[in-house]
Structure 1
Amino acid sequence: MSAPTALAPLTGVSALLDAVGADAPHLDVRAPSAATASFAWDAGTAPRQGEPAGDGPAVAVPRTVAEVQELVRLAARYGVSVVPRGAGTGLSGGAGAQADQLVISTDRLDRIVEVSPADEVAVVEPGVLNAALNDRLAPLGLFYAPDPASWRISTIGGNIATNAGGLRCAKYGVTRESVLALDIVLADGSLVSVGHRSIKGVTGLDLVSLFVGSEGVLGIVVGATVRIRPLPVARRTVTAFFASTAEGVTAIGAITASRVRPSVVEFLDEPTLVGIDAAQNSDLRARGAALLLIELDGFGIDEQTAELTAALEAAGARVRVESETDAEVFWELRRSGRRFDERSWFAGGDVAVPKSRIAEMFAGFSAIESRHGVEISAVAHAGDGNLHPVVTLPIPAGADPANPPAALHHAVDDIVRAALALGGTVSGEHGIGTVKRALAAEELADRVRAAQFAIKSALDPVGLFNPGKAL
């Protein structure tokens, strides 16, 4: 099994910059410098506050698809590998770049090209923010379903690259379920379109699903046709507090066994509630030791509420229908309430397991804590089995905050392996990037990995796009 042939070191970034200055001054290409340092990492791999940053990579900010094509051809000509980048909100290192690479940012490709209520689709450029699309759709009584926690600041293109999920996955699926067609610039600079504007279409292989979640290793997405949906006629937030984490995760099965299908089912364990209270001056822990935060939507909201309440109370929950004002507070606390003390090392990520095995995942944390001397907290998209654990360890006096002990990362690896042992996966929505490549190799059979490298080689034979990521 082998990766695509590496780019020949022909002349490199300096020659590419000279060529842009001489022959393509209309292109916005910025030389490596301290001003581009933030492009060397994403949100998940950024240095701690106070750590030296150094110079970043070369950065191009095209305004048109044609400029993306021109930049890709220049990069190939001068032997410079390309890192496609959206807003940089990823958590797996997929958008980080080195000084000898060229970042192609989609920041200025931010047009909402079309909204068609009749076809229930929108056509967007990759730099459109998830929130901006929904702001455009709301007055029309429509919405775009995928809603990662970073929805206010993450781009549709970045969401596509990582197959981002979010809270509403339980009912509406991850990004892949909302993407019908893509426009992509390939490694030779050609522009291709894959997929269909129609909801149904089975002509040829499903290349849309291949590119969604490919983390920029196959091409640069420059346009997307996405599904849009009618806003639900009603939405309601229900909280269910429990006496313990174990009792709460066991109750997830009661929701599955009912006839109710919430749009969102979020689980917060006891350490998470305590941490949110400390950071936000809230009082979640006073109401219980674990929380299921649930959103219902659609017709028959009263009937849904009644059946869900009965199921949860039978499982030991203290159930409350929250007012709209209180609901907004709960959802904001869920999305952005977690904070991590700068006096502690922390590492996290995501894994996913079958819903029926979530309780076993939480039950296994104590053994990992004891083995490595760490603390583990977790929230979960409980409706689809996607957990977001965080491992923390206090920084002793005199220790270097930039050099966490191996125990921290060993604990994270053990969490991933526990998920695999339960029939789960290395990542449910954050992607592989650089952070989880070794662990992904433990999940995927050799023959499957070989097939993935073969696809990469067919589309990008010299390894132009995002080398060292994902595969």
Structure 2
Amino acid sequence: MIMSRIEAPSDDVTGNLLDRLLTGLPAEAVHTDPDVTASYAHDMASFCPAGAPAVVVLPRTVEQVQHVMRVATELRVPVVPQGARTGLSGGANASDGCIVLSLTRMDRILDISPVDRVAVVEPGVVNAALSRAVGEHGLYYPPDPSSWETCTIGGNIGTASGGLCCVKYGVTAEYVLGLDVVLADGRLMSTGRRTAKGVAGYDLTRLFVGSEGSLGIVVRAVLALRPQPPRQLVLAAEFASAGAACDAVCRVMAGGHTPSLLELMDRTTVRAVNELTRMGLPEATEALLLCAFDTPDPAADLAAVGALCGAAGAPQVVPAEDTAESELLLQARRSSLVALEAVTGTTMIDDVCVPRSRLGDMLEGVERIAGKYGLTIGVVAHAGDGNTHPTVCFDAQDPGEARRARESFDEIMALGLELGGTITGEHGVGVLKKEWLARELGPVGLEMQRAVKDVFDPLGILNPGKLF
């Protein structure tokens, strides 16, 4: 296996490593203070081991990234690429003696073209900053993860992130037209295109999207943009059961509607959000469904969906009166994961995507698992995609509770696969789901994945220990 080729560098190698790095990097880009390096050791995932980096490097140019990779190849030192470390699967966790390559200082928006409808950006650009910048040109970059105010485009590409608007606009992979990538040996490769069409050769761009930094370092991205849509209006529908809410989702999608957002929050999540934000969401509900349209006549579309929710048993359907009220509802949804973390102080956030038709089965199964293990498990979901985020709340200081949390997490993953789903819709595999990736792909699929890794990273120095 690739992992067997890389071991933690010796003290002699580490000393030589610093000397070699400083031949092509300014001193302020290289950090070895243990307090600093420890702060770059891991992302936001629980139950994911992290090592101690030998050095943290923060380059500003492509040439500096190339220099880092040439040194790493020469000395056989592992490199862990990082963005803002908002990931939830341990994909950015350091390994012992590695170079942490933080790309947050490569944060320039290089070009925005209203004619070509593309933006060219460096990997450290924050998602929300890009959205605001293109908005000034009447354009729209749709992928919007819940952490959009802090997560970076490079990290979004690494994990193939989604967001609240995926049901209508799709995920990150559908907006990455081309990439500049520094390979493991320091060579620079360009993939894809800037044009609206292009089928020249294998689609290497898509290969890098979702590869979690295991094949190369993305240093520039050409991203597709859309015209800015009208402001969306949101409808909130209360349900007496999660199953009824999922029935409404099926009715909406089968009815041919294309909402810009279709999100679900279960009772546990609603109460947690109220506790954190004091928003006054309806705590008596068993499930709250949020549906939005950004069409020319959103009120008419919401009325049609409201009727479908009523037919599915919703006792209360409330359309927002204006964009301000809509934004308040969306803020409640975006606060969900933070609110659930506040319940016990620690969470394990699952990311299981199932066919929309099995969404009700998924939520009912999670409720059974929560009861079996005596844990609080809140569920938020990109319901229009079938992408659920069961969030296990537990006390990390209680060994028995922590064990039950891990066991419940595994049962939720197994349930997702049983329902014809996938172990991750947008958070990636990282360290957390390596075993489950092998189960989902099967032995032949895993062999082919490892063969691709061998081609791009024959020494196994790029983000070792992740994926498989």
1:288 and 1:373 map into 2 onto residues whose CA distance is: 22
1:293 and 1:135 map into 2 onto residues whose CA distance is: 24
Distance 1:228 1:102, change over 3 A: same
Q: Which residue of 2 aligns with 1:375?
A: 376
Distance 1:223 1:25, change over 3 A: closer
Distance 1:4 1:201, change over 3 A: farther
Contact in 2 for aligned 1:12/1:79 (Cα 8 Å): no
Contact in 2 for aligned 1:355/1:382 (Cα 8 Å): yes
2:199 and 2:183 map into 1 onto residues whose CA distance is: 23
Match of 1:316 among 289, 300, 313: 313
State the Cα RMSD in Å: 2.1
The farther-off stretch of 121-130 and 401-410 is 401-410
1:188 deviation in Å? 1.0
Distance 1:273 1:63, change over 3 A: same
Aligned residues: 460
1:288 and 1:227 map into 2 onto residues whose CA distance is: 39
Distance 1:346 1:115, change over 3 A: closer
Provide, for residues 247-306 of structure 1, a one-character-per-residue CA deviation record: whole Å limited to 9, x for no partner.
Answer: 212211111122321011000111111111122223213463311111101223243223
Q: Which residue of 1 aligns with 2:150?
A: 153
After the TM superposition, which residues 62-73 of structure 1 pair with which residues of structure 2 at under 5 Å, given as runs? 62-73=59-70
1:344 and 1:125 map into 2 onto residues whose CA distance is: 34
Task: Give the TM-score, by structure 2 length.
Answer: 0.93
Contact in 2 for aligned 1:4/1:457 (Cα 8 Å): no
Distance 1:54 1:186, change over 3 A: closer
Query: Which 5+ residue runs of structure 1 have no aligned equivalent?
Result: 48-52
Does residue 24 in structure 1 map to residue 24 in structure 2?
yes
Distance 1:72 1:225, change over 3 A: same
Q: Which residue of 2 aligns with 1:387?
A: 388
Does residue 217 in structure 1 map to residue 195 in structure 2?
no
Query: Which 5+ residue runs of structure 2 have no aligned equivalent?
Result: none
Match of 1:96 among 73, 93, 98: 93
Q: Which residue of 2 aligns with 1:123?
A: 120
1:84 deviation in Å? 0.6
Distance 1:85 1:54, change over 3 A: closer
3-state secondary structure, aligned to 1:284: coil
Match of 1:265 among 259, 262, 265: 262
Q: Which residue of 2 aligns with 1:35?
A: 36
Counterpart of 2:317, as a letter, is: V
1:373 deviation in Å? 2.3
1:36 deviation in Å? 1.9
1:445 deviation in Å? 1.3
1:434 deviation in Å? 0.4
Distance 1:99 1:361, change over 3 A: same
Contact in 2 for aligned 1:239/1:291 (Cα 8 Å): yes
1:334 and 1:165 map into 2 onto residues whose CA distance is: 15
Counterpart of 1:321, as a letter, is: P
3-state secondary structure, aligned to 2:229: coil
Task: Give the TM-score, by structure 1 length.
Answer: 0.93
Q: Which residue of 2 aligns with 1:297?
A: 294
Distance 1:280 1:4, change over 3 A: closer
1:405 deviation in Å? 3.2
Counterpart of 1:26, as a letter, is: P
Provide, for residues 342-384 of structure 1, a one-character-per-residue CA deviation record: whole Å limited to 9, x for no partner.
Answer: 6465322211000000000011123312332223210000010
Q: Which residue of 2 aligns with 1:356?
A: 357
1:468 deviation in Å? 0.3
Contact in 2 for aligned 1:13/1:102 (Cα 8 Å): no
Provide, for residues 66-110 of structure 1, a one-character-per-residue CA deviation record: whole Å limited to 9, x for no partner.
Answer: 000001101111221000111111111011103400011111111
Does residue 76 in structure 1 map to residue 73 in structure 2?
yes
Counterpart of 1:155, as a letter, is: T
1:327 and 1:244 map into 2 onto residues whose CA distance is: 23
Q: Which residue of 2 aligns with 1:50?
A: none
